[in-house]
Amino acid sequence: MKAYQGFSIIEIIIVLFVIMALSVVAFFSLDNLQKKSRDARRVSDMNTLQDIMARTISQRGVDGYKLACPGVGAVSKCLGGKLQEFFPSIGNLNDPGFVANSCANCVDGTICNYAITNLEKDSFQVNFYLEKGINGEKPGCYNLTKDGVVKMK
């Protein structure tokens, strides 16, 4: 009598199905982790920016915020102002999602690059987007001001 050798087609299909199922679970878990990681970076960037803006106003006086940057627009384009003195790498401050569209007109569900949308002598506003949410914050568009972070309505 000849001994059975090898696997049946059913056994091979079952193994392939299990591998595919594990791959799908791993893919979605990794995607979730990446979103949370990018959100943590965004919050860290905003904390850094808020600290530097506070330093700008404390050392430059009343017109500190207005002198911080030549105008509104992408944060990474804020070159030549007083902000660059305190933060020389401001030109590299971009959303970690590597997106080109600006958060100037932030829309929920659309990742966008950090944008200065208001720059007055005593106030500023920077828009940014959270993909997944972090520290109790929900996904969506947010404003950074001298008073902290506020979710846009």
116-129 pLDDT, tens digit each: 998 887 788 999 99
Count of structural domains, the chain:
1
- Give a yes or no: residue 43 inside a domain: yes
Residue 4, domain member (yes or no): no
Strands in 148-151's sheet, in edge-to-edge order, are 73-74, 115-119, 124-130, 140-145, 148-151
pTM of the model: 0.79
- How far is residue 126 CA from its own chain's centroid? 12
Confirm whether 119 is domain-assigned.
yes
Q: Which domain holds residue 60?
A: 9-151
* Rounded Cα distance, 146 and 34, in Å: 29
Q: What's at 47, amino acid-wise? A: N
Residue with tokens 């330093």: 55
Instruction: Give mean pLDDT, residues 87-94.
Output: 90
Residue type, position 1, single letter: M
3-state helix, strand, coil in the chain (%, to 5): 50, 15, 35
For 32-88, what is each residue's pLDDT tens digit? 889 999 999 999 999 999 998 888 878 876 666 777 787 788 899 888 877 888 889
Pick the residue with more confidence: 64 or 96?
96
Residue 1 falls inside a structural domain: no
Amino acid at 115: A
In a domain, 39, yes or no: yes
Q: Say if residues 93 and 45 touch (Cβ distance below 8 Å).
A: yes
Answer whether residue 84 is part of any domain.
yes
Residue 99 has pLDDT above 90, yes or no: no
Position 63 in a domain:
yes
**41, burial (CB in 10 Å: exposed 0-12, middle 13-18, buried 19+):** middle
Residue 52: how many CA atoms within 13 Å on its side-chain side? 23
pLDDT greater than 70 at residue 96: yes
Is residue 3 one of the residues assigned to a domain?
Answer: no
